[in-house]
């Protein structure tokens, strides 16, 4: 039977004395009619693709078709060469990796939609940066990615992970929750800590609109990847300190769905409101159409 809620997932982990990633791998193996080792191998392939996207993004300055984005990661790296970020080296890595991946997506490069293309930089940045800094083995990174996948899967059972349906809370917000779950697992968190990390990340980003300028997944989408990656790490720091979300994760997901339903259609990927209709955004739109 498919796991449709986090309460169900927790019960299964407790009754079988297994981790979330073990349950996730077993469920996927059953669904795909294959072995757990094959599932982990496929997850490793996705992890490698994430690392390739980061590597390519860090070395390219190619602009997007609009010309608005594509060289911001290079600017960030140049700043870090001159002096360390206020929050230290790991902050530099996470922010740069998130931006590198998101910009690689704009160049039509190969990325892993995790859970969507517009939010593709968040999970890779957190998993890869922290693993490099803490020297976390690849097998544990795979376990973290499987954990993230289970969180995304359960949320998607209740609400479509699309800005057009529920705003960016359902894309970058969910990606942040997935990243938080992955990192909590990789840092040795138990099942409650992993769930709490995801809950804290998602709860504190509810209501995030989807208002892309000109309907392109560029402004403000790209930079949201950086902010929400750091957001995920903050959630993990709280969760691993024993701080709990007073609202259960299942109820937070229900609230995400309801919030999405209440949100104006003008703020759900239509580019009819929000940042997409600021004076500057409208001027950018006019210039873009003139060019094309």
Distance of alpha carbon 109 from alpha carbon 104, whole angstroms? 5
What is the mean pLDDT of the segment spanning 235-258?
A: 98
pLDDT at 95 over 80: yes
What is the mean pLDDT of the segment spanning 177-203?
A: 98
pLDDT at 292 over 80: no
What pLDDT is recorded for position 80? 96
The DSSP result for 58-127, as a single string, is HH--PPPTTSSSSSHHHHHHHHHHHS--TT-HHHHHHHHHHHHHHHHHHTT-----SS-GGGTTHHHHHH
Which CATH fold topology does 18-291 show?
Answer: 2-methylcitrate dehydratase PrpD (1.10.4100)
Residues 34-49 have pLDDT tens digits of 999 999 999 999 999 9
What DSSP character marks residue 271?
A: -
Confidence of residue 84 (pLDDT cuts 50, 70, 90): confident
What pLDDT is recorded for position 2? 80
What pLDDT is recorded for position 1? 56
- Contacts for 66 with CB less than 8 Å, ≥ 6 apart: 214, 216, 218, 288
């Amino acid at each position: 039977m498919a796991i449709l809620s986090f309460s169900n997932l927790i019960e299964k982990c407790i009754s079988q004395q297994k981790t979330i990633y073990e349950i996730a791998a077993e469920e996927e193996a059953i669904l795909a009619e294959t072995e757990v080792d094959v599932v982990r191998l496929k997850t490793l392939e996705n992890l490698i693709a994430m690392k390739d996207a980061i590597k390519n993004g860090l070395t390219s300055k190619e602009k997007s078709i609009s010309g608005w984005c594509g060289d911001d990661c290079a600017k960030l790296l140049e700043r870090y060469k001159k002096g360390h970020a206020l929050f230290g080296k790991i902050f530099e890595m996470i922010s740069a990796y998130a931006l590198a991946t998101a910009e690689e997506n704009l160049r039509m490069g190969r990325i892993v939609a995790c859970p969507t293309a517009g939010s593709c930089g968040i999970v890779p940045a957190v998993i890869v940066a922290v693993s490099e800094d803490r020297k976390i083995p690849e097998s544990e990174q795979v376990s973290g990615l499987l954990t993230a996948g289970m969180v995304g899967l359960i949320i998607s059972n209740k609400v479509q992970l699309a800005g057009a349906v529920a705003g960016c809370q359902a894309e970058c917000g969910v990606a942040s929750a997935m990243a938080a779950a992955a990192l909590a697992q990789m840092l040795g968190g138990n099942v409650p800590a992993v769930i709490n990390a995801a809950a804290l990340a998602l709860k504190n980003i509810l209501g995030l609109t989807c208002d892309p300028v000109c309907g392109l997944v560029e402004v403000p989408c790209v930079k949201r990847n950086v902010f929400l990656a750091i957001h995920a790490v903050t959630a993990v720091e709280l969760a691993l300190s024993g701080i709990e979300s007073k609202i259960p994760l299942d109820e937070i997901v229900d609230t995400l769905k309801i919030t999405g339903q209440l949100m104006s259609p003008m703020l759900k990927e239509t580019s009819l409101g929000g940042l997409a209709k600021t004076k500057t955004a409208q001027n950018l739109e006019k210039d873009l159409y003139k060019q094309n």
